[in-house]
């Protein structure tokens, strides 16, 4: 039986830029012992997004995220044995043999994740996944427009008849990018920090954090509150990690200039 009241009593206020009282791993242990199997599956669905991104990181020989369901070795084994991950992952691997192909079509794998998980979710989880998918599409389209790339190619794995996708594709030949109204704040922050990638990542963390906090403001003792806290806790930790990297980059620049 789930114990939402107990969990809610432990959830201190989260603030972007400040370390949380509970770390992600500490909170994850509490979830393991206080959630029902169906609730834990919702947690796994959220963390599966990081598994998908860790697959891409492996192909690209980049550091993996700690927020997935699988550690690096277990993820490697799941890919080799074709067991443990959703079927759409293995279908993608069978369709594209070469690493270069997989990297080029990675948005298709990400799209499969969102399509599968959104279709079988409800409540906060559905709203969260829908938001995550949509802001990424808008950001990808904006980036393509700024870099002079074909917006249609960027969204080739999406349904062109879907409202948001159709709205984006309708302006593919326009010299500028007009964001859907609800995503105007996102595009504004992208425009203001276009030449500062680290600050862009941090600003997007803040943007997502603010949106997600608003989804459950009056929902105190439910799985929705717990899931929202989990996602926002990850964003807080990611922001601090980005801030640390930004500080190291500044220090490296200072050292280079002084030498």
- DSSP H stretches of helix in 60-157: 72-81, 87-95, 99-104, 106-119, 123-146, 151-154
Whether 245 and 140 map to the same domain: the answer is yes
Whether 131 and 148 map to the same domain: the answer is yes
Looking at residue 247, its pLDDT comes to 57
Cα 159 versus chain centre, distance: 20
User: Is-contact 2 36, C-beta < 8 A?
Assistant: yes
Whether 205 and 110 map to the same domain: the answer is no
Looking at residue 248, its pLDDT comes to 54
pLDDT in tens, 203-249: 999 999 999 988 876 666 788 889 999 999 999 999 998 877 765 55
The span from the CA of 98 to the CA of 233, in Å, is 36
Direct distance between the N- and C-terminal alpha carbons of the chain, in angstroms, rounded to an integer = 62
Last residue of a domain, one of 120, 143, 164: 120
Looking at residue 251, its pLDDT comes to 43
Whether 165 and 194 map to the same domain: the answer is yes
Q: Whose CA is closest to 48, among 114, 105, 104, 2? A: 114
Whether 135 and 244 map to the same domain: the answer is yes
pLDDT in tens, 156-214: 999 999 999 999 998 888 888 888 899 999 999 888 877 788 888 889 999 999 999 88
pTM of the model: 0.90
Whether 111 and 137 map to the same domain: the answer is no
Kindly state whether residue 254 falls inside one of the protein's structural domains: yes
Last residue of a domain, one of 101, 120, 139: 120
Whether 130 and 249 map to the same domain: the answer is yes
Whether 45 and 164 map to the same domain: the answer is no
Number of residues in the chain: 259
Looking at residue 246, its pLDDT comes to 65
Looking at residue 38, its pLDDT comes to 93
Last residue of a domain, one of 65, 91, 120: 120
Kindly state whether residue 259 falls inside one of the protein's structural domains: yes
Kindly state whether residue 17 falls inside one of the protein's structural domains: no
Higher pLDDT among residues 112 and 6, named by residue:
112
Higher pLDDT among residues 112 and 220, named by residue:
112
Looking at residue 201, its pLDDT comes to 87
User: Is-contact 143 200, C-beta < 8 A?
Assistant: no
Whether 150 and 244 map to the same domain: the answer is yes
Kindly state whether residue 44 falls inside one of the protein's structural domains: yes
Token couple for 142: 């904006």
Kindly state whether residue 13 falls inside one of the protein's structural domains: no
Token couple for 134: 């949509």
What is the domain count for the chain? Answer: 2
Looking at residue 132, its pLDDT comes to 96
Eight-state DSSP code of residue 182: G
pLDDT in tens, 18-63: 999 999 999 999 999 889 999 999 999 999 999 999 999 999 888 8
Whether 146 and 222 map to the same domain: the answer is yes
The label of the residue with tokens 């802001």 reads: 135
Kindly state whether residue 7 falls inside one of the protein's structural domains: no
Whether 109 and 163 map to the same domain: the answer is no
Looking at residue 256, its pLDDT comes to 43
The span from the CA of 188 to the CA of 236, in Å, is 22
Following CA atoms 95, 97, 100, 106 in sequence, which dihedral angle do they give, to the nearest 10 degrees?
30
Kindly state whether residue 208 falls inside one of the protein's structural domains: yes
Q: Which residues form the domain of 113?
A: 23-120
Whether 101 and 207 map to the same domain: the answer is no
């Amino acid at each position: 039986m789930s114990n939402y009241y107990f969990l809610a009593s432990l959830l201190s206020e989260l603030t972007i830029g400040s370390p949380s009282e509970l770390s992600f791993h500490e909170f994850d242990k509490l979830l393991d012992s206080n959630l029902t199997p169906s609730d834990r599956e919702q947690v796994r669905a959220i963390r599966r997004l990081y598994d998908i991104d860790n697959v891409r990181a492996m192909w690209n020989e980049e550091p993996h995220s700690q927020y997935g369901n699988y550690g690096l070795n277990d993820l490697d084994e799941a890919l080799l044995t074709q067991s443990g991950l959703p079927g759409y992952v293995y279908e993608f691997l069978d369709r594209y043999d070469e690493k270069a192909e997989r990297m080029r079509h990675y948005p298709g794998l990400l799209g499969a994740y969102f399509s599968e998980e959104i279709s079988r979710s409800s409540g906060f989880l559905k709203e969260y996944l829908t938001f995550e998918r949509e802001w990424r599409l808008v950001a990808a389209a904006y980036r393509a427009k700024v870099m002079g790339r074909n917006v249609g190619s960027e969204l080739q794995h999406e349904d062109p008849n879907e409202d948001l996708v159709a709205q984006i594709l309708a302006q593919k030949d326009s010299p500028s990018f007009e964001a859907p109204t609800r995503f105007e704040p996102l595009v504004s922050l992208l425009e203001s920090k276009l030449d500062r990638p680290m600050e862009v990542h941090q600003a997007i963390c803040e943007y997502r954090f603010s949106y997600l906090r608003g989804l459950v403001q009056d929902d105190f003792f439910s799985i929705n509150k717990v899931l929202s806290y989990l996602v926002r806790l990850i964003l807080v930790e990611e922001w601090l990690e980005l801030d640390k990297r930004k500080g190291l980059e500044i220090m490296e620049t200072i050292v280079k200039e002084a030498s």
